[in-house]
Amino acid sequence: MSLELRNVTHRYRRESAPVLRDLSFVFPADRSIAVVGPSGSGKTTLLAVIGLLTRPTEGDVLIDSEVVKEREVADLRTRLFAWVFQTVNVLGARTVTDNAMLVLLARGVAQVEAREAARDALVTVGLGALASRTASSLSGGELQRLCIASALASRPRFLLADEPTGQLDRATTDRVTQALIEGRPRGTTLIVVTHDPHVASQCDLTVALQDGQLAIGGETT
């Protein structure tokens, strides 16, 4: 499945400078793409636009060359996307397994199936032993891995990860990056925002966000 941004401009306030400026880009299907750029350049904003969380001020998001319409948004979010948010959002009081199942349940998958997929994904990121802990009791790095497991378990078409290895040590970063890049299900396009050149280098493609525009093969910061 291909995803395209066409003439996307986004500004948070009418009078402020645009974060994304007349940006057009085609994200190649089934590839892993690293998005790099200085802090505040708009990487999180870009992901939010791609993932249909934020409607750009101008321009369109196209999936399989079809312009996404407002009323399809919630459904597409469930069916096609999975997230690893920079803010590691979890349901704190709930168990690790419950959190990992969430996207699948939202998609209407049966309880048993969802639980099984969640278990597998948790093992992949090395959280198998913590499956029944409450999410709020995890460390920062464990939380990030939980979010990755949750995203992997749902076998999305587009996996959007915002700084997924920000709090991990080298060894865990490698393990998690591998799980994300190589362990992702077939047919999953991975778009990962990262400051880590090591992570970016393992992706098929690196794009840099600068001055509201995307350029292929930019330097990592």
Partner 1 sequence: MSWRTTALMREAWLNVTSNRWRTAGAVLALGAILGSLAALELRDANELRNFQANFVRSGGYVALGLPPAGGSADAARCEAMNGQPGVVAAGSVIRPTPTTFETAPGILYQRAAVTWGVLRVWDPANRAAANDSRQIVIGRVMAGETGLRPGSFVTPRGEGPILVTAIVDTTRRNPTAARWALDPVPPTGSVDECWVEFVPGAFEAGLASLPAQLTTGDKEAVARPYIRRDEFTRDPAAEFVARPQRNGWPLAGSLMAGLFALMAWFRRSELGLYLAIGTPRSLLMAMLAVEALLVVALATVLAVAYAVAIDEALHHTPRWSGTWIVVRTVGSAALLTLTAAPLLAVLVVRGSIANLLKDR
Ligand X SMILES: Nc1ncnc2c1ncn2[C@@H]1O[C@H](COP(=O)(O)OP(=O)(O)OP(=O)(O)O)[C@@H](O)[C@H]1O
Residues that bind partner 1 (CB under 8 A): 44-45, 48, 51, 53-54, 74-79, 81-83, 85, 87, 89-95, 98, 102-103, 105-108, 110-111, 134
Cα–Cα distance measured from residue 146 to residue 143, given in angstroms and rounded to the nearest whole number: 5
The count of other CB atoms within 10 Å of the CB of residue 2 is 14
Residue 100 dihedral angles phi and psi, to the nearest 5°: -70, -25
Partner in contact with 41, chosen from Mg ion, partner 1, ligand X, none, beta carbon below 5 to 8 Å by kind: ligand X
Range 52-111, binding Mg ion (CB under 5 A): 86
C-beta closer to Mg ion: residue 16 or 87: 87
Partner in contact with 29, chosen from Mg ion, ligand X, partner 1, none, beta carbon below 5 to 8 Å by kind: none
Instruction: Report the number of secondary-structure helices (H) and strands (E) in the chain.
Output: 7, 10
Range 65-94, binding ligand X (CB under 6 A): 86
Q: In the sheet where 20-27 sits, what is the strand order?
A: 20-27, 3-10, 58-63, 66-67
Provide the minimum distance between the beta carbon of 171 and partner 1 in the complex, in angstroms, as a whole number: 28
Cα–Cα distance measured from residue 214 to residue 35, given in angstroms and rounded to the nearest whole number: 9
Q: Pick from 44, 150, 154, 165 the residue near Mg ion by CB under 5 A.
A: 44
Burial per residue of 152-175, b for 16 or more beta-carbon CB atoms within 10 angstroms, e otherwise: bbbbbbbbbbbbbbbbbeeebbeb
C-beta closer to ligand X: residue 43 or 184: 43
Residues ≥6 apart with Cβ < 8 Å to 5? 23, 24, 25, 49, 50, 59, 60, 61, 62
Say if residues 191 and 137 touch (Cβ distance below 8 Å): no
Partner in contact with 54, chosen from partner 1, ligand X, Mg ion, none, beta carbon below 5 to 8 Å by kind: partner 1
**CA angle, 161 as apex, 148 and 18 as ends, to 5°?**
155
Q: Pick from 12, 66, 129, 185 the residue near ligand X by CB under 6 A.
A: 12
Residues 20-49: x where in contact with ligand X by CB under 6 A, - otherwise, as a string? -----------------x-xxxxxxx----
Total residues found in the chain within this entry: 221
Provide the minimum distance between the beta carbon of 174 and partner 1 in the complex, in angstroms, as a whole number: 27
Provide the minimum distance between the beta carbon of 54 and Mg ion in the complex, in angstroms, as a whole number: 13
Provide the minimum distance between the beta carbon of 114 and Mg ion in the complex, in angstroms, as a whole number: 29
Count of residues that interact with ligand X, criterion CB under 6 A: 11
User: Which residues contact Mg ion (rule: CB under 5 A)?
Assistant: 44, 86
User: Which residues contact ligand X (rule: CB under 6 A)?
Assistant: 12, 19, 37, 39-45, 86
